[in-house]
Structure 1
């Protein structure tokens, strides 16, 4: 599908996203909180995410011959589930900024944000049930099951990520298992749902999920890189916030897997403090990561994941994935 045609699909997606969230919002405060998070109505326009998961779903589906209408509710479901996870993630990580403005909990309080996130999770699956008219009962049931499986994996990954915060060491394999659930699972589900929307066979759907999961691993490593060396204007979040909270991101885990050196000892000792880091300590860790060449290591890891995606083909889906990781 050409870019102009996909732009039209994305416009239809945005309308459907608004429609599905509007029809399931009831109480005034809940309606307001969800509208605020998405930037709808009086709370917009605001900078929205890149809609990467819906785009992967669309491109997978269209590459396999799915009609547009069969994909819209599935894409909406994936995006709403992703946003529900962001609402809860911001609370758990104590992030006060997203897309350059206060997060939902920072504006409405933790209790209301938890509740709004729960409602968004419910709306996600209600939206997905609407796809039955196009996918048939079996296709819709399969889509719901796959999205639930991804949701469970996301929760498992988040549990690991939270547990890591109280540890003074995390093995590289543990980090990879964590991001496979927390981040890659939903990307995998997005691509698999795209295949289901195209009525693809089980083998093709599994390959699509594999593509999405591999992409998701690369995406998280890039996100970790931006969390240390990114631009706050680009990310919409405070740069180095993950370092301040002692999050076990790719640069940190990689650095501590290197041979002994003064820079490695700086990272290890600072992360072993068991508390949040002050600005001086954050800068010390960042300098140590630069000395260890952790940023080029991140870039190599992303390139390796991207290269592995080529085994799924080098069509529009691959080109989009590659461009989005640059």
Structure 2
């Protein structure tokens, strides 16, 4: 484990340095608002996935660090805009960007980071073939489109009580898993790996991302506010149709269902009402959701077994991430 901690720390420190190098502006307030969430910490999972995917096939670290900065900058852009849409006041235990600087500056900071993500990706590809440039930018652009579609699906689910498991999985594939898939695939693309390797890396990231989001939804129900870094039960208050809610609505008694539908999405629900609904949801769906997350985690690990390994520490790291995502507490 000590080996992996050192490995992760080295990646995180180098990616953080790259992020600081890219996020600079002559307009101090814009720079401050844009860099703010990075200083709040974060797991840097997507950059770790990208650099470890690159290492796995014997890739070049400098290119990988820049590409990893690109995906983390893009991810942070989505978080800022996400918080505005969800009216969240906390992110990673700190006031959200729009709370601290106001919505107009938060939107600008998101736009600024969106551009900076492309700048970092562009730098990671310097000197490579035009085909590699095309593949990397095509993937990055498609990822942004798909993430936007996933967010739109998630929002459209809030007023529905008939969302299916299949629809939920499709939504989290787009909203969350796509950027994990983009990260792992870019680890191959910036090293001009062959198509089969890139495909398997992409599948690893996609299934890791699905597992990650299912566990994120679980934590929204069982973690305390300090662990979560945002208000507990906010998913229930916002009417999010997580796998836990979908499973519960399918299995609940008529009385339970009536209570859940009256509280789910009710912005004025009391803490006691939210806790009561959370308890019912946990009873019906917690084990089911964990088992589903484990299934996707195993599929992710199977994808790695189809890739010729050049770096066994990277392989160990990627397997650990797939296993850890199901066990994490925040």
1:123 correspondence with 2:116: yes
1:253 correspondence with 2:246: yes
Question: Residues 109 and 261 from structure 1, CA distance in 2 versus in 1: closer, same or farther, beyond 3 angstroms?
Answer: same
Name stretches of at least 5 consecutive residues in structure 1 with no aligned partner.
40-45
Which stretch shifts more, 138-147 or 202-211? Answer: 138-147
2-side partners of 1:79 and 1:115: how far apart?
17
2-side partners of 1:141 and 1:183: how far apart?
23
* 1:43 corresponding residue in structure 2: none
2-side partners of 1:9 and 1:171: how far apart?
39
Maintained 8 Å contact 1:17/1:76: yes
* 1:285 corresponding residue in structure 2: 277
The correspondence of residues 71-86 of structure 1 with structure 2, limited to 5 A, is 71-86=64-79
2-side partners of 1:170 and 1:277: how far apart?
22
1-side partners of 2:256 and 2:278: how far apart?
10
Q: 1:183 aligns with which of 176, 187, 197?
A: 176
Question: Residues 38 and 313 from structure 1, CA distance in 2 versus in 1: closer, same or farther, beyond 3 angstroms?
Answer: closer
Maintained 8 Å contact 1:57/1:191: yes
Question: Residues 163 and 102 from structure 1, CA distance in 2 versus in 1: closer, same or farther, beyond 3 angstroms?
Answer: same
- Shift in Å at residue 269 of structure 1? 4.2
Maintained 8 Å contact 1:266/1:288: no
* 2:297 corresponding residue in structure 1: 306
* 1:61 corresponding residue in structure 2: 54
Maintained 8 Å contact 1:245/1:277: no
1:266 correspondence with 2:259: yes
Which stretch shifts more, 167-176 or 156-165? Answer: 167-176
Deviations 1:148-202 (A, max 9, x none): 1111100000011111222233222211111111001100000000111232111
* 1:27 corresponding residue in structure 2: 27
Question: Residues 310 and 16 from structure 1, CA distance in 2 versus in 1: closer, same or farther, beyond 3 angstroms?
Answer: closer
2-side partners of 1:181 and 1:21: how far apart?
26
Maintained 8 Å contact 2:200/2:304: no
1-side partners of 2:267 and 2:36: how far apart?
32
Maintained 8 Å contact 2:53/2:184: yes
2-side partners of 1:70 and 1:134: how far apart?
10
- Shift in Å at residue 132 of structure 1? 2.2
* Count of residues paired in the alignment: 315
TM-score, normalised via structure 2 length: 0.89
Maintained 8 Å contact 2:182/2:205: yes
Question: Residues 274 and 63 from structure 1, CA distance in 2 versus in 1: closer, same or farther, beyond 3 angstroms?
Answer: same
Name stretches of at least 5 consecutive residues in structure 2 with no aligned partner.
306-314
1-side partners of 2:200 and 2:127: how far apart?
22
Q: Which structure's relative contact order is higher, taking Cα pairs within 8 Å and 6+ residues apart?
A: 2
2-side partners of 1:258 and 1:180: how far apart?
24
Residue aligned with 1:198, SS = coil
- Shift in Å at residue 118 of structure 1? 0.9
2-side partners of 1:162 and 1:6: how far apart?
34
Q: Report the RMSD for the aligned CA atoms in angstroms.
A: 2.0
Maintained 8 Å contact 1:9/1:68: no
- Shift in Å at residue 276 of structure 1? 5.0
Which stretch shifts more, 180-189 or 170-179? Answer: 170-179
* 2:143 corresponding residue in structure 1: 150
- Shift in Å at residue 140 of structure 1? 2.6
TM-score, normalised via structure 1 length: 0.90
- Shift in Å at residue 6 of structure 1? 4.6
- Shift in Å at residue 259 of structure 1? 5.8
- Shift in Å at residue 274 of structure 1? 6.3
Deviations 1:104-139 (A, max 9, x none): 001111111111101111110011100122544332
Residue aligned with 2:20, SS = helix
